[in-house]
Amino acid sequence: MELYRACYRSKIKWDNMRLPLPDEIDKTLLRIRRINRRAGVTGALLLVDQHIIQVLEGYTGPVLDTVYCVMNDPRLHDIEGIIHEPADYRMFPNSLMFFRDLTDGIAASRHAALRPLLDHPGEVSRDEAYLALSHFAKELREGRMTNDMLMI
């Protein structure tokens, strides 16, 4: 079966949030990870200003099913695809849903690849998305290698 990658950005509809943002994130990530475990989907979710950017990876059917669910989430609007294409590999192979909150701007000020996410989150290009996602994928790989060396 062929791997597929989908990445989208959307604006957050704050008036449809039922809980304070940290609680909403925790509840949502718990649900996403449970669903992704069953579906064989991996990926990352980035919170940036008034937007989220999410990448989903896995077999085509489950990834597109997940995108369909996202499109029907009342907490999101102005959903726009950035990447929709077959993938040779998973960028986040062991992450049911990696999450990073970039709203404080600190990470973006330290890493040029993340700067477009803050400068123009509503207009992030395919190449800019890949650069930012690759930054986090590399960070996860390096952490895994350290854990393997320490036998954690």
Q: What token pair was written down for 24?
A: 């909403």
> CA Rg, the chain, in Å?
15
More confident residue, 106 or 131: 131
Of 22-26, 49-53, 104-108, 134-138, which gets the smallest average pLDDT?
A: 104-108
pLDDT, residue 143, reads: 57
Task: Name the average pLDDT for the chain.
Answer: 88
Residue 121: DSSP 8-state: G
Confidence of residue 148 (pLDDT cuts 50, 70, 90): very low
| Res. 142: pLDDT tops 80 | no
Confidence of residue 116 (pLDDT cuts 50, 70, 90): confident
Share of the chain above pLDDT 90, in %: 64
Share of the chain above pLDDT 70, in %: 93
Cβ 93 vs Cβ 42: under 8 Å: yes
Say if residue 20 is exposed, middle or buried (CB neighbours under 10 Å; 0-12, 13-18, 19+): exposed
Domains, the chain, in order of start with CATH, read 3-150 (3.30.70.100)
End-to-end CA distance of the chain: 32
pLDDT, residue 117, reads: 80
43-90 tens-digit pLDDT: 999 998 888 999 999 999 999 999 999 999 999 999 999 999 999 999
